[in-house]
Amino acid sequence: MTEDILDAPEQAPVQYKIFSPKNAFWGTFLGGPLVLGYLMAHNYKAFGENHKIAASWAIVIVCALGVMFLPELIPILQKVSFLTSLLISLGGQSAMAHLQKESTDAHLARGGKFQPWQVTLLIGIVGLVVTVLAAILVLLLVDPEKSPIYFLN
């Protein structure tokens, strides 16, 4: 038994920080699904699971497009946008907790830490700006009269 412990390679302490599911909730609530994609991709890269990055981005981009277009198709969603944002954030938190649980636990067991909330706040704000600009661009292409830029002329 003692020989097994002595023969086992020591794992170096972790030098990088990852995002927690709680970070995913607040970042997604503030900046939308694209922020969730960034946070999950960051974690996958940190875990060395690069093969999962493209799939997570693809899913998140589809979700972001759904968030932009579903209110047009289902008008009741326009009235409960806060609830929709809350549900998307909870879904993102749950997805990260479920999909990255083992890797996150291993990271913490090796002495790793989570990113501070300030980093998540900054990423959320950047995500919000990118999402708003993307929505304006989509509105310009689809229906220019509904675009906020249309009213500036």
At residue 147, the pLDDT reads 61
Burial of 104 (0-12, 13-18, 19+ CB in 10 A): buried
At residue 60, the pLDDT reads 87
Weakly modelled stretches of the chain, pLDDT under 50? 1-9
At residue 18, the pLDDT reads 96
CA distance 145 to 151: 8
Candidates 71, 84, 93; CA nearest to 146 is 71
